[in-house]
């Protein structure tokens, strides 16, 4: 058995905190890291590509995969399903690659049960006011959806004590550097 498997890195945080940007920068800087592409039943947003942003699948297909144990975790948010395909993650870890999951707090708890050595990172905004500003700046949601996202953000941030580390995304470059140092320390066995 290979004891040098890759690290499973779970990144969570509220909508609008900049998770996607942070993950993209990590993928550029972490040697042999891959992003686990989630499945979803929601429609693609402008610029999203099937198989890269998400695997966009039907609700029927998603439910069949649940029945077959095809997900490490899955959840339902804003009337859409999201899930992490099990086979992809396990295969990449066996190949000694670091796998980054960008998932919510409930999914992270499910992954931690199955992978106790997973590294859980919560990314938070510098303040709730800044989160509101970022959500409005995106221009992709109306006021009602922004309020739903803020309620969800409050819930997610209340679960940050479950995570190995909480990283405040105030300065993007510093946030990425902090995470790279955490990952490097984990590889060296430093908590």
CA 41 to CA 70: how far, in whole Å? 15
pLDDT for res 176: 97
pLDDT above 90: residue 70: yes
Kindly report, residue by residue over 4-31, the tens digit of the pLDDT.
488 999 999 998 898 999 999 999 999 8
Q: Which residue has the higher pLDDT, 71 or 189?
A: 71
Q: Which residue has the higher pLDDT, 109 or 187?
A: 109
pLDDT for res 1: 36
> Order of strands, edge to edge, in the sheet holding 165-168?
33-35, 98-102, 8-12, 119-124, 165-168
pLDDT for res 145: 84
Buried b (16+ CB within 10 A) or exposed e, 25-64: bbeeebeebbbbbbbbbeeeeeeeeeeebbbebeeeebee
pLDDT above 90: residue 3: no
Q: In whole angstroms, how far apart are CA 32 and each of 11, 55, 85, 174?
A: 17, 22, 19, 22
Quick one: pLDDT band at residue 2, thresholds 50, 70, 90?
very low
Q: What is the CA radius of gyration of the chain?
A: 16
Kindly report, residue by residue over 112-149, the tens digit of the pLDDT.
998 999 999 999 999 888 888 888 887 777 888 888 88
CA 59 to CA 102: how far, in whole Å? 21
Polymer length of the chain: 191
Q: Which residue has the higher pLDDT, 179 or 135?
A: 179
Quick one: pLDDT band at residue 89, thresholds 50, 70, 90?
very high
Least confident span in 77-81, 141-145, 159-163: 141-145
Q: In whole angstroms, how far apart are CA 158 and each of 51, 124, 163?
A: 32, 11, 11
Kindly report, residue by residue over 31-61, the tens digit of the pLDDT.
889 999 889 999 998 999 998 888 999 999 9
- Secondary structure (3-state) at 11: strand
CA 71 to CA 110: how far, in whole Å? 10
Q: What are the beta bridge partners of residue 8?
A: 99
pLDDT above 80: residue 190: no
């Amino acid at each position: 058995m290979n004891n040098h498997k890759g690290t499973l890195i779970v990144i969570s945080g509220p909508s609008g905190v900049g998770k996607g940007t942070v993950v993209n920068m990590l993928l550029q800087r972490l040697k042999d890291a891959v992003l686990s592409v989630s499945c979803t039943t929601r429609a693609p947003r402008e610029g999203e590509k099937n198989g890269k942003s998400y695997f966009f699948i039907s609700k029927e297909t998603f439910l069949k995969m649940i029945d077959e144990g095809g997900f490490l975790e899955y959840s339902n948010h804003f009337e859409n399903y999201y899930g992490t395909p099990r086979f992809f993650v396990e295969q990449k870890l066996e190949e000694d690659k670091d796998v980054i999951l960008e998932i919510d707090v409930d999914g992270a708890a499910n992954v931690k049960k199955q992978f106790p050595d997973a590294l859980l990172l919560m990314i938070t905004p510098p303040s709730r006011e800044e989160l509101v500003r970022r959500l409005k700046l995106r221009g992709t949601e109306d006021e009602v959806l922004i309020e739903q996202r803020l309620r969800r953000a409050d819930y997610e941030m209340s679960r940050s004590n479950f995570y190995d580390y909480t990283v405040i995304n105030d300065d993007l470059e510093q946030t990425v550097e902090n995470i790279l140092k955490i990952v490097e320390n984990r590889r060296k066995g430093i908590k």
